[in-house]
Structure 1
Amino acid sequence: MPTLLLQRNEEVRERWQNKIRYLLVDEYQDTNTSQYELVKLLVGSRARFTVVGDDDQSIYSWRGARPQNLVLLSQDFPALKVIKLEQNYRSSGRILKAANILIANNPHVFEKRLFSELGYGAELKVLSANNEEHEAERVTGELIAHHFVNKTQYKDYAILYRGNHQSRVFEKFLMQNRIPYKISGGTSFFSRPEIKDLLAYLRVLTNPDDDSAFLRIVNTPKREIGPATLKKLGEWAMTRNKSMFTASFDMGLSQTLSGRGYEALTRFTHWLAEIQRLAEREPIAAVRDLIHGMDYESWLYETSPSPKAAEMRMKNVNQLF
């Protein structure tokens, strides 16, 4: 709409051309046809503008991005001055050499060759893997071996990955090998609320004495077990040196608790005990019945900001199992 308005209304076009003295556009390789026309209409014949782009980084052609817009710039604006930013201030020469070899296979709008003054760097190793699990296992193994041989600290290492969805499998192998880690620029898969919920259920199933996990799940989803009920249950359990889950089965508890809160608590703990017994025989079936029995998917749709968000959260749950 803005592009059509500027094309058809000269008064509006001139007003905006006079208002915008200088224009800067970043990630220009990801602009589409309409956005390119919008830039032309905004800068007009004075062409006081700068664009920053890299045709080798264009990854959004599936949504209309056209790196060819960089070529059109030189045609539509003959006085265009091209400044190539080829020096890399982060990577070693060896990494850039490998990058240059790969980039050389791309069709280019502007030829460029990356270089660094940080030294040539350590030798690179390329690992082949059968799938994402195998990849994470090999990367973790290489990390452990390098750490052992070179007497380094784990904080000296970094694992770079493209998307947040890839973190789960790496975190899994790091935790299995007791390697401390921190997620930077994203959310840990195991820190997501839905994952923490399900892990809390599993913690109670394997360790009924885990009161913190019990308190997380007792009203997830909502079960009308109020704070007063939980307070009395906690006091009862403490005086008898029991966990809250174990204490919920005491015959005498009904003298302290009553009403809907007690009934809801009893239904929940007896259902969880059934899942616990099933887990001893058929753990996979127990997990399936656990998720189905608490109707977790419906609860996600009720509490998430959008159906799409609920769908993504349920996808995370399915990935966990």
Structure 2
Amino acid sequence: MTGTEYLQQLNEDQKEAVQSDSRSLQILAGPGSGKTRVLTTRVAWLVKEKDVRPSSIVVVTFTNKAAKEMKERLEQPTLLGFKRSAYLHMGTFHSFCAGILRRHIDLTPLERNFVIADAAKSKQLLTDIVKELEPHLQNKTGVKTQTASEYHLYISKAKSAGIDHHTYMAENRGHFLKKYTAMVYTAYEERLEAENMIDFDGLLLQGRNLLRDHPQVTDFVEHVLVDEFQDTNALQYELLQLLTRHGEKAFTVVGDPDQSIFGWRDADKAHFGKMEADYKDTVIVDLKENYRSTKFILQSASHVVEKDKARRPRHLFTNNHEGAPISLMKLETEVDEANAVAMEIKRILKYSNGLIGYKDIAVMFRMNFLTRNFEKAFTQAKIPYVLVSGTRFLDRMEVKDVLSYLSFFYNSRDSVAFTRLINAPKRGLGDVSIKKILICSRENGWTLLETLQRILDKHPATSHIRLLAKAREELNNLLKLQTEIQNKLNQKASIDIVLKHIVESISYFDYLKSNFEKDYESREANVKELIVFAQQHCEDLVDESAYH
């Protein structure tokens, strides 16, 4: 495909969006309207027809999966090809901020080898902090004000609004309840800093601060494109303003205000209107044709969203067939609902004359606990089923165990990783000894590796930490392993080689076999899969473990 032939596969609305010369462009992309095709084709058009350097283009998405899909499309010879696509800055808000923070680490309060605390690690830190501050977190009746999970939610919301702990404390120190959140927020940030970590929301906050205080770091940017714009929160919108220098750089967003369902995550579809006000002469192109849904589906969905009187009028259409009508069942109880679905499944199979089988039917739930009545109803109706739910791969115990070694060896201030790995496998250290090691590290300003070495060297400041001979031997082996891993990292060894060395050195498979007799084989397989995944997708592994 040569010249502008790659544009011929687009409909007229899509072509208008791709070829718009507006420096501020909103593409309203209804469901199934080809938004990914439009966004990637616009990137190609900017490079091929407008001579925009690929290295000056920033494409921001909300998931690594979406970024990967767009990258693969752009790598096709029909668009940009592999060589030119490699220069694009493409990824999630969080990966973009992580990258620019590492490139300009000297302009931030972070240390070069900072690590990103995932949600589980953040909650564990907060649990420890709340426990330590418990006497100060009680109201006059002696009742604790909030749980660690609640504090995590409030702190995340504050960060999503662009409020750091200093500002939060200044604004709420006299508030009846928020003063407690201010105390925990401050202690949490101090602990993150002491352990050379930054959490998921903190990436955006520190990224905002870097772009705000040092605007020269965005000198390379000429054009910013954003996917799923309806999902942006206040802090992400501020980041986009800083990236585009409030209108100095070209700005394209793709999204659908009718699909804004993440208000609970602080997303704000009002950013469409705010962008129109903040970026003068914003052009709006509406992608009206739906390629995915039947006419019945599209008409029904339109009937619902049109009830919003504040909504911008839009007229979506499809050339697909009518499709089957939608059935709406209104039942009195959850048990009636489950039984009705079971009967409907039986009816569909009976009248499909073998065209539809059980494997062709899916029942979706809003929450896992809602499956109970359906499991009972399906069993009574003799309907075979598979319950699809479970723990995310990187959240499985054995995977987190192995990754905790990698995290700790990279950043030896990581107390959560240390606490996890120190007895996986067992090393003869009890909870009291572990707590003393953590406190000793914090009080003396040592890394945990330095603390362990000083314990073995019988430093006077560690005299209160008394360990049995087995525990001392195991700590010595851990320090030796850290040296071996550091040497491999210095030699640029691949992550899969490093992980394999860790697993073999600590005899982790023997540990699984001894402690998890019933399912050790599946756990062992998960660790092996982790190593294979690291070999094939090192960058994805880092992104997933860091940002989710």
TM-score by length of 1: 0.50
Identity level (%): 33
Residue 81 of structure 1: aligned partner: 283
Residue 328 of structure 2 aligns to a residue whose secondary structure is coil
Residue 360 of structure 2: aligned partner: 156
Q: What is the deviation of 1:112?
A: 2.0
Report the CA distance shift for 1:116/1:157 in structure 2 as closer, same or farther (over 3 A): farther
1:140 and 1:174 in contact (8 A); partners too: yes
C-alpha distance in structure 2 between counterparts of 1:132 and 1:28, whole Å: 36
Residue 177 of structure 1: aligned partner: 381
Residue 239 of structure 2: aligned partner: 38
1:144 to 309, 325, 346: 346
C-alpha distance in structure 2 between counterparts of 1:90 and 1:22, whole Å: 30
Residue 330 of structure 2 aligns to a residue whose secondary structure is coil
C-alpha distance in structure 1 between counterparts of 2:250 and 2:375, whole Å: 48
2:256 to 35, 43, 54: 54
Q: How does 1:294-309 map to 2 (within 5 A)?
A: none
1:101 to 288, 299, 303: 303
Q: What is the deviation of 1:75?
A: 1.6
Residue 82 of structure 1 aligns to a residue whose secondary structure is strand
Q: What is the deviation of 1:107?
A: 4.1
Residue 27 of structure 1: aligned partner: 228
Task: Answer 1 or 2: which has greater strand percent.
Answer: 2
Structure 1 runs not aligned, ≥5 long: 194-321
Q: How does 1:187-206 map to 2 (within 5 A)?
A: 187=390
Q: Report the aligned-residue RMSD.
A: 2.7
Q: What is the deviation of 1:59?
A: 2.6
Greater mean alpha carbon deviation, residues 86-95 or residues 163-172: 163-172
Give the count of matched residue pairs: 184
Spell out, residue by residue over 1:137-188, the C-alpha distance to the aligned partner (whole angstroms, 9 max, x if none): 211111112221332322333333444444444344233322233456x449
Residue 126 of structure 1 aligns to a residue whose secondary structure is coil
Structure 2 runs not aligned, ≥5 long: 1-204, 397-548
| 2:306 partner amino acid | A
Report the CA distance shift for 1:13/1:121 in structure 2 as closer, same or farther (over 3 A): same
2:329 to 121, 127, 134: 127
Spell out, residue by residue over 1:51-80, the C-alpha distance to the aligned partner (whole angstroms, 9 max, x if none): 222222223334432211111111222333
1:47 and 1:77 in contact (8 A); partners too: no
Which of the pair has more CA radius of gyration? 1
2:222 and 2:249 in contact (8 A); partners too: no
Considering Cα pairs closer than 8 Å and 6+ residues apart, tell me whether 1 or 2 has the greater RCO: 2
Q: What is the deviation of 1:128?
A: 0.5
C-alpha distance in structure 2 between counterparts of 1:154 and 1:75, whole Å: 52
Report the CA distance shift for 1:18/1:182 in structure 2 as closer, same or farther (over 3 A): farther
2:221 and 2:249 in contact (8 A); partners too: no
| 1:132 partner amino acid | E
C-alpha distance in structure 2 between counterparts of 1:50 and 1:69, whole Å: 13
Residue 14 of structure 1: aligned partner: 216
Residue 299 of structure 2 aligns to a residue whose secondary structure is helix
Q: How does 1:253-268 map to 2 (within 5 A)?
A: none
TM-score by length of 2: 0.31
C-alpha distance in structure 1 between counterparts of 2:282 and 2:369, whole Å: 41
2:231 and 2:267 in contact (8 A); partners too: yes
1:56 and 1:108 in contact (8 A); partners too: no
Q: What is the deviation of 1:19?
A: 3.1
C-alpha distance in structure 2 between counterparts of 1:166 and 1:25, whole Å: 36
Q: What is the deviation of 1:32?
A: 2.0
| 1:25 partner amino acid | V
Residue 225 of structure 2 aligns to a residue whose secondary structure is strand
Residue 237 of structure 2 aligns to a residue whose secondary structure is helix
1:56 and 1:106 in contact (8 A); partners too: no
Q: What is the deviation of 1:87?
A: 2.5
Residue 70 of structure 1: aligned partner: 272
Q: What is the deviation of 1:129?
A: 1.8
Q: What is the deviation of 1:94?
A: 0.8
Report the CA distance shift for 1:63/1:155 in structure 2 as closer, same or farther (over 3 A): closer
C-alpha distance in structure 2 between counterparts of 1:52 and 1:164, whole Å: 32
